[in-house]
Amino acid sequence: MKHKFKSKLLLLALGCTLSFGSWAETLKVITSGGFAGTLTAMEKQIEQDTGLDLIISYGSSSGGAHDSIPERLKHNEAFDVLILSQSSLNKLTEKGYVRSDSHRDLVRSRIGMCVKAGTAKPDISTEEAFIKVLQQADSIGYSASASGTYLASKLWPEMGLWQMIEPKSKRVLSERVATVVARGELQIGFQQISEILPIAGAEFVGPIPDKFQKVTTFSSGITQSSLQPEAAKRLIDYLASDKPYVLSSIRHSGLDPVAAE
């Protein structure tokens, strides 16, 4: 009887250990909008291929919104892996949130324009046409994250258009610019192409002209607080790989995979 009892205790302990091991493979990941659609679409396949269980959260790379990645880290919200703009990841690393040796560039992203579905799609294929659309638009939306910061702080002022654009523009916090456009609250909107494509009710017009374009690199890193750095690295290695499924998923989302360069 004692032997059987000890055997049951051993099996119970083993079961608990296995359960804990499985739990230990759960990763908390937060991604900014540029990679959000890609990661969400790939989630099930990632879990199947890596044996990881992902808990995905979303927040902007910057901008000061309460749900932005920097603010959530500032308020001690715990994550294992961060995916956001390279510049924002570098800033968070300088502040001690991210392991400096864990950075991996994943994708390149471009800025696009959208309108409400069913409305006319203006031509922005040339520099002159793009400027004309900005001048004629009744309202313009841009994101509070990387692309919007570039447009409002650098591009439009350098073009000499900010004084004209500012009164009719809106800096969109905590939701996609395309979502606001789809509701009819803004006539045109600008954001990373990968953030426009998934939004029902909004229609992608095209990328802004190359002369005005800013290519943003989205990178990943492991937090200093992660208790599972090896599992986190396994996820990042997968996302940064040249596996055909990974490359096609990234391209389908409107992004360019760094692994294919």
157 C-beta neighbours (distance < 10 Å), count? 14
Token pair 């313009």 is at which residue? 140
Residue 137: give its domain's CATH number.
3.40.190.10
Q: CB–CB of 257/106 below 8 Å? A: yes
233 and 194 in a common domain: no
Pure H helices in the chain: 2-24, 33-50, 69-74, 86-94, 127-136, 146-150, 156-159, 162-165, 177-182, 193-196, 229-239, 244-252
Pairwise CA distance, residues 14 & 67, whole Å? 40
206 and 158 in a common domain: yes
- What domain count does the chain have? 2
Q: Look up residue 175 and give its two tokens.
A: 């939701």
22 C-beta neighbours (distance < 10 Å), count? 11
63 and 52 in a common domain: yes
119 C-beta neighbours (distance < 10 Å), count? 12
Q: Are strands 104-109 and 216-222 parallel, antiparallel or unpaired?
A: antiparallel
Exposure on the CB side of residue 139, measured as CA atoms within 13 A: 13
181 and 160 in a common domain: yes
229 and 200 in a common domain: no
Instruction: Give the contacts of 142 (CB within 8 A, at least 6 positions apart).
Output: 148, 151, 152, 169, 170, 171, 172, 177, 189, 190, 191
Question: What does each of the 261 residues of the chain score in pLDDT, given as a tens digit?
Answer: 444 434 444 444 444 444 434 454 999 999 999 999 999 999 999 999 999 999 999 999 987 889 999 999 999 999 999 999 999 999 999 999 999 999 999 999 999 999 999 999 999 999 999 999 999 999 999 999 889 999 999 999 999 999 999 999 999 998 999 999 999 999 999 999 999 999 999 999 999 999 999 999 999 999 999 999 999 999 999 999 999 999 999 999 999 999 999
Pairwise CA distance, residues 84 & 218, whole Å? 5
227 and 104 in a common domain: yes
Q: Look up residue 76 and give its two tokens.
A: 């001690």
144 and 127 in a common domain: yes
Domain that holds residue 151: 111-212
143 and 66 in a common domain: no
123 and 74 in a common domain: no
